[in-house]
Structure 1
């Protein structure tokens, strides 16, 4: 039997550092541990975050706008922190050890959060439905919250990439399964979210916040158990050294040689002589003509050697140059996800506050918390993932001939289009709600007689958009990233969620400042019955349309990367 039939061809190793054996490691056999880990972790995350805006309002006495901004700022940090975990994974530790170490920080944060909501002296004191929080209560709460942000951020960019690493890039059969893995990975996320947005939100509203935060803490501990249980079966990609250093070297070398002319024959550019790349865990990349200024870094001169060795700050390989080009090409596609993430962030802020003013009752004896309506987003994802994977892809494949049905860029574009309709529906629901408030003088009612289930379509549409855009992004950023920079590119993908949350927070701040002048209540007052939240949703719909049109131009320009040779 040939060695290529025994060992993986993508340079992965097992937990002991030995070359990974195909029959004993990776593939679908490792997925129950990775998907179980992700499902439990997402249950923990959404279990404490879905209803967070109401905890800030009810327990910490923050106004609607201030609570929304704090949630979006924290959520944004959760999606900025992946840059830290991704860098450590790609450069030094590898994805396995980053997941293991940051999970411990995550559990610590969850534990402190539970204590801050359940222990006398640490939790706010409440009497007759009104709560008072000391500066110490608030401080401990936010310390715990941002420890969770660091923990979840550290593992976010690594888990999906680590799961994809279990499928050998050089094996055609395994490579085809990788696309399906991303669908089921996102499916597992939403199974966790389903429990969080239904059971845990109900517990928080009706049993107590101590239990409501304590159960997610236990689930995070269970996520760690899932992860370590599969250790003997995992394929581990070796770290390739600092990606930021390699990118900086290309930029510096190009600037040093700004006056040189790039030869027309690409064979004259510097590259390692053997078939493997000089970067660990990476294949060579084909030379491309675009962004030719950076090719100057691969032009050899007599000044490039120092004591018989090439100075990497003066001469870079073609593959190293193409790494930088790949990142630059990805950035416009990346930027298009920011507005989409702004729309997505409304589920945990403005959708909840909109729902808080509507009738939550189901029959005479049961009420559904507004935050629990995100369950319909989750159900939408759970509905669409298998439909997409098992029905849409095979059907579309017959017409396009593309293995995935839609290309990654087409898939993301469809999701961007669907998100526009979610904002339009949210705006129409708010127009109808405010019309009834005005007509029947419901201004001071806590819950007006209009069912909260009017919000279901806007949640369901966002769920459908997620299946196309977010899952498409997961696959796109893994596939189009240079081999040794996959965690970093996954972090870039997640960073759009952070910037989307920050943009949402910025828009709310600007709108409040502009619309509350001269004694006016503005679009988003504490009592939304006196406001115009529909204007905010229309604004997001317009921004989404503009974003979609720009995306179409960017997608037409984009060229997919091409690799050559084997893994180093």
Structure 2
């Protein structure tokens, strides 16, 4: 009996044998998963913040077009998480999906490094900020090579984001209260791993890109993802691996929607017990999920109304009659959609910190000492460094303290955590708008509106930008990890990878919305400004980025009130209150 109790339901080891506690999974082995993700972020953080400089200064796109190339790349990488998550959940598993994605990203970074190294594969050097220069933009075969490398990286990083977080969460048993709290810590440490990898990338790799060449910087990113792949694969013998059943859980969700429409004229039974559900005793030997009926979104209950008694479940047409559990899972997914939509604009705000804020930094005084200058693309290290301190504090002190008062395993609910992040993202944009007014006033008062970025820095420190980065960094701590944990915890068993893609898809749509919003704003303000649009042209000193930031701050706050409406209506899949054993509060986390 003791040996049987150690078995982990629904998980196997790499040889297909049922996984055992204390031998497979747990916090100790999740460290390798966190390390692999840290290496992946080491490889890509520098790209995300410095690509705009590469596209603008090396490939000779103007600022707005360079920003759109970057946001389209980022948006594609996140939207591809849906495809990879579907394959991971249904056919190949999360471990294989992560390993293949890491190898694809390795290939993409290798191609990018080769192009950056050989002068024949990129346009001739030219100062894009010199108004008299005619700079040749990348084209033809070289453009094909650049976009091929770019989108191989997008596929790779999207695949890793789709499968790796869920594979890490698979190392914990959701039926064990102690491991539930460890899983909450895992998601916090997941952000910490992101920050550790990002810290190295934003300082060392960005500095190498700016001072020793993009080819060497991209080469270092290539080495980082290779090391991440080796570390990840090395943990295979001790991983808990989710059993792949080959059935499409997403299809079961759609079956509910179709059946509820087909049965729309049927009358709800007076007793919910009359709704269709398989017999627990007959299916005891089968790994089936059972959820209780809830009085929400009752129009979907029509999918479970029986017109005639069911004697054999195998004879049921799933497009006409669905189980109560299946209906409840469909309710959860449907209720998640407004939450999902409410978080899109957070990534739109993030996109500006990765594009226009970097361009602001290029015009400012980047000196730390007389001999050392901080690259503007390294500015995100400020919130990253702050989070390296606050995440352990949040996980080890705040969460246990809050848990004593709320009874929630995570200290505060997922939706409360997300709400805090939404407010802070709006504040970040407001801070950015105020700083941009100050920066432009400095340029105007010193007669430097046409100063060449980098070569003629304005007499204002680049560290003024740290306020908007710092506020958004804290927003990330609350919103992004809150979303990741919320979607994973609430999703049906067969949709764990796909559920975490709600976060990445939200980010994808946020980046795409940024591209669309920039085009709309430039079009709408074309005749109102001398620069032919708030964000048009290469001279950011004569643009109106401050007004764009204010627009985003207002949209973000309106979006927050929309989020509050839907969050209040949301009913959790199950109670987040876990029995707290005082002996288990101080979890031992191996880092």
Alignment of 1:424-443 (within 5 A): 424-443=430-449
CA–CA separation in structure 2 for the residues paired with 1:494 and 1:279: 36
Residues 506/307 of structure 1: CA separation in 2 closer, same or farther (3 Å cut) = closer
Q: Partner residue of 1:22?
A: 21
Match of 2:480 among 465, 470, 480: 470
Alpha-carbon distance in structure 2 between the residues aligned to 1:352 and 1:105: 28
Distance 1:395 1:29 in 2: 24
Structure-to-structure mapping, 1:56-95, within 5 angstroms: 56-95=55-94
Contact conserved, 1:238 with 1:281, CA < 8 A, in 2?
no
Query: Hey, what's the Cα distance between the residues in 2 that align with 1:204 and 1:305?
Result: 68
Going from structure 1 to structure 2, the CA distance change for 1:307 and 1:424 (only over 3 Å counts) comes to closer
My pick for the range that moved more, 362-371 or 488-497, is 362-371
Q: Is the 8 A contact 2:12 2:240 kept in 1?
A: yes
Matched, 1:321 2:320: no
Residues 1:414 and 2:414 are matched in the alignment: no
SS in structure 2 of the partner of residue 540 of structure 1:
helix
Hey, what's the Cα distance between the residues in 2 that align with 1:252 and 1:460?
A: 46
Partner of 1:543: 555
Shift in CA distance, 26/419, structure 1 to aligned 2, threshold 3 Å: same
Separation in structure 1 between the aligned mates of residue 526 and residue 360 of structure 2, nearest angstrom:
19
1:306 Cα offset (Å): 10
Instruction: Pick closer, same or farther for the CA change 1:227–1:280 going to 2, 3 Å.
Output: farther
In structure 2, relative to structure 1, the CA distance for the partners of 1:156 and 1:193 (3 Å cut) is same
Matched residues in 2 for 1:327 and 1:247: separation? 8
Contact 2:49–2:355 (CA under 8 A) maintained in structure 1 = no
Q: CA 1:280 to 1:99, structure 2 compared with 1: closer, same or farther past 3 Å?
A: farther
Asked if structure 2 preserves the Cα contact closer than 8 Å seen for 1:430 and 1:534, the reply is yes
Residue 231 of structure 1: how far off its partner (Å): 0.2
1:142 corresponds in structure 2 to 147
- Helix, strand or coil for the counterpart of 1:524? coil
Which residue pairs with 2:217 in the alignment? Answer: 212
| 1:528 corresponds to which of 540, 564, 570 | 540
For residue 196 of structure 2, what is the aligned residue in structure 1? 191
Instruction: Confirm or deny that 1:169 pairs with 2:169.
Output: no
Q: Deviations over 1:240-262 (max 9, x none)?
A: 42122112221222222221112
Q: Do the aligned residues in 2 keep the contact of 1:281 with 1:484 (CA within 8 Å)?
A: no
User: For each residue in 1:351-381, what CA deviation from the matched residue of structure 2 results, as whole angstroms up to 9, or x when unmatched?
Assistant: 1111112111222222222111111121122
Given the two structures, how large is their TM-score scaled by the length of structure 2? Answer: 0.91
Alpha carbons of structure 1 residues 113 and 260: separation in structure 2 relative to 1, 3 Å: same
Give the superposition deviation at 1:492. Answer: 1.2
CA RMSD of aligned residues (A): 2.2
- Paired with 2:520 and 2:282, the residues of 1 have a C-alpha distance of 52
Deviates more, 1:94-103 or 1:74-83: 94-103
Q: Deviations over 1:253-280 (max 9, x none)?
A: 2222221112122222221212698998
2:270 pairs with 241, 260, 264, which one?
Answer: 264
Report the more deviating stretch, 249-258 or 486-495.
Answer: 249-258
Instruction: Select the residue among 420, 423, 429 that pairs with 1:423.
Output: 429
Separation (CA, whole Å) in 2 of partners of 1:126 and 1:304: 74
Q: Is the 8 A contact 2:104 2:155 kept in 1?
A: yes
**2:105–2:153 CA contact under 8 A, matched in 1:** yes
Distance 2:528 2:418 in 1: 43
Gaps of 5+ in 2: 576-591
Superposed counterparts of 1:97-116, under 5 Å: 97-116=96-115
The reply to whether residue 457 of structure 1 matches residue 463 of structure 2 is no
In 2: Cα distance, 1:150 partner to 1:276 partner? 44
Assess, with a 3 A threshold, how the Cα gap between structure 1 residues 440 and 97 changes in structure 2: closer, same or farther: same
Residue 193 to residue 282, structure 1, CA distance change in 2 (3 Å): farther
Secondary structure in 2 aligned to 1:11? strand
Alpha-carbon distance between aligned partners in 2 of 1:493 and 1:281, rounded to the nearest angstrom: 28
Contact 1:304 1:315 in 2 (8 A): no
SS in 2 for 1:520: coil
